[in-house]
Homo-oligomer: A and B are copies of this chain.
Amino acid sequence: MDTTTQADPVTFGRHPDTYAHWRLSIDGDRATLVMAVQEDRPLRPGYRLKLNSYDLGVDLELADAVQRLRFSHPEVRCVVVTGALERVFCAGANINMLASSSHAFKVNFCKFTNETRLAIEDASRHSGQKYLAALNGVCAGGGYELALACDEIVLVDDGNSAVSLPEVPLLGVLPGTGGLTRLVDKRKVRRDLADMFCTVAEGVKGKRAVAWNLVDEVATKSRFAEAVDRRAKALAAGSPARASGGIELPALASTKSGDTTRWQHVTLSIDRDKRVATLTVKGPAADLPEDPAAIRKLGAAWWPIAAFRELDEALLTLRHNEEEIGLILLKTEGDVESALALDRVLAQSGSDWLVAETRAFIARTLRRLDLTARSLYALIEPGSCFAGTLFEIALAADRSYMLYDKDQPVTIAISAMNGGAYPMSHGLTRLAVRFCGDPGKVDALAGQPRVYDPTDAEEAGLVTVVADEIDYQDEVRVAIEERVSLSPDALTGMEASLRFPGHETGDSKIFARLSAWQNWIFQRPNAVGERGALTLYGKPERPAFDFRRT
């Protein structure tokens, strides 16, 4: 089954002018996002994107649109998502793509699409950009999961168009993009009705879809446009007016030299033999603007936007193009005081729309880091600037190593931005997670921003290991070698468990309960074996199951 398509690396930059699969248009405070997947433009050769089915390439454009709407079109208060095909809104993730992908690719594909749907909900929650799914035809599997991520769903009532999650009955796998969780946790569909719904391949349509709360409204073909318009207006009206005049998000520039990719603020170096990557973020310069108007003028060139966009792309590169890299060494370079000065702006100007968007985007990028299934070590060395926002990177790491060298002093710093600006996907801050046994300490640390030398940092429990110049290199080397020798699967499960103490939310349940189950099922012979349901999908043979339940 593990017939990895070794193809060109995935590239991540997208722009509406060159979307292959979506059409984005803006009209006043409303955006319309039309899914119009081109069958013959899959991300990798080997399958056709029939019936508005999607692959990673389609989802990269969607993620770009969701992000761009927040930065470039802050005036938008409602986004209508609909489809360009007759009778079909979206057939879901492309099955042939899934069946021909490696397990690692499948899992990373699902993780990215999950993050995109969470980004839609984040836009609704934090930026008042409400999403309306206007389902103009059949909406199956991942198509319905996309609809579930929207605030409201209108389904055409044409006697044929249904919403469905046919994964269990047809493919022997789970809906992979939060569908089960959102059904019962977000839309509060009664669990027994959800059970019926998820086992009926043809789905549910018409009045029953409304009665079960699978959709908010059904409308006949002749009234569909009116219903969508009415709901879009109401959603926009319920959302506070925002700024106009967004900023452009230009393509990110990077250069590759050997196994090192350099963006402006971020460098990614791959050591394939060791299966280790080094990811270095250069901190902000000293003379950044403090005034929101000047920041808007800088736009996407403003350090936090530029640096975290690059970090985001570097993380996606590692996930999708460097599957064998097991350990990421996280480094920073720069000036602690400049990083703290930038954090004061982020903290004080949080009511400015662009600063608020920047904070929310940093939070999303840090969550992408938390959810990256690679071991993470932060190396806190001379010349580094793990301060405030950038210290979140160290807090996200599985471990941190800090050099104590009296000739080359190293410091870290806590700022007001560590106090709550960047929640993890289960809603807790990384500081609160770190000291979950001592909430008073969290408040004390976050409430008293300051700089820590290695001795203070160790005493405060802010770093894992402090070692002097005699031991540091050896200690880090051994820790790296040990880590990459361990079972990558066991590490994934261990890290996913240890990184998220505390309660769960709908968001975190998707990656925990749901995705973990899905990963399991994706591996099982009942799905991917010679006679598994996924393998035989579309073929005349019936799957043969090992019926032992677990």
Contact = CB atoms under 8 A, between A and B. Distances in A.
A492 B191 contact: no
Contact of A196 (B275, B399, B517): B399
Interface in A442-481: 461, 464
Interface in A132-174: 167-169, 171-174
Interface stretch (A35-43, A220-228, A347-355, A433-441): A433-441
A499 B400 contact: no
Contacts of A275: 547
A549 B492 CA distance: 7
Interface string A162-197: 000001110111100000110111011111111110
A86 interface: no
A6 interface: no
A113 to B, nearest CB: 15
A549 B183 CA distance: 29
A498 B398 contact: no
Nearest to A183: B498
Interface stretch (A58-66, A300-308, A520-528): A520-528
B526 A513 contact: no
A549 B323 contact: yes
Contacts of A526: 487-490
A169 B486 contact: yes
B191 A501 contact: yes
A545 B433 contact: no
B527 A516 contact: no
A488 B436 contact: no
A502 B494 CA distance: 24
A199 B483 contact: yes
A315 interface: no
Contact of A172 (B196, B435, B489): B489
A519 interface: yes
A548 B199 contact: no
Given A190-B461, A193-B464, A512-B512, A550 B433 contact: no
A185 B489 contact: no
Contact of A326 (B399, B493, B549): B549
Given A436-B188, A464-B193, A491-B168, A513 B496 contact: yes
Given A464-B193, A487-B172, A184 B501 contact: yes
Contact of A497 (B187, B492, B495, B513): B513
A456 to B, nearest CB: 17
A512 B508 CA distance: 11
Classify chain A: how many residues form its interface, as a range.
35 or more
Contacts of A199: 482-483, 486, 494
B198 A494 contact: yes
Contacts of A433: 191
Contacts of A169: 482, 486
A209 to B, nearest CB: 16
A492 B461 CA distance: 41
A464 B198 contact: no
A194 B486 CA distance: 16
A549 B374 contact: yes
A504 interface: yes
Nearest to A192: B464
Interface centre among A437, A484, A549 (most CB of B within 10 A): A549
A103 B504 CA distance: 28
A546 to B, nearest CB: 8
A436 B182 CA distance: 13
Given A104-B549, A196-B399, A488-B550, 13 more contacts: A104-B550, A107-B550, A168-B486, A180-B498, A187-B437, A188-B501, A190-B434, A191-B501, A192-B399, A489-B527, A490-B533, A512-B512, A519-B550
> Which 5 residue pairs of A and B lie closest in terms of their CB atoms, listed nearest first?
A188-B437, A172-B487, A516-B516, A493-B517, A520-B520
21 contacts: A108-B550, A167-B490, A168-B487, A169-B482, A169-B486, A174-B490, A180-B494, A183-B498, A184-B501, A191-B501, A195-B399, A195-B495, A198-B494, A199-B494, A373-B549, A373-B550, A488-B547, A489-B526, A490-B526, A517-B519, A520-B523
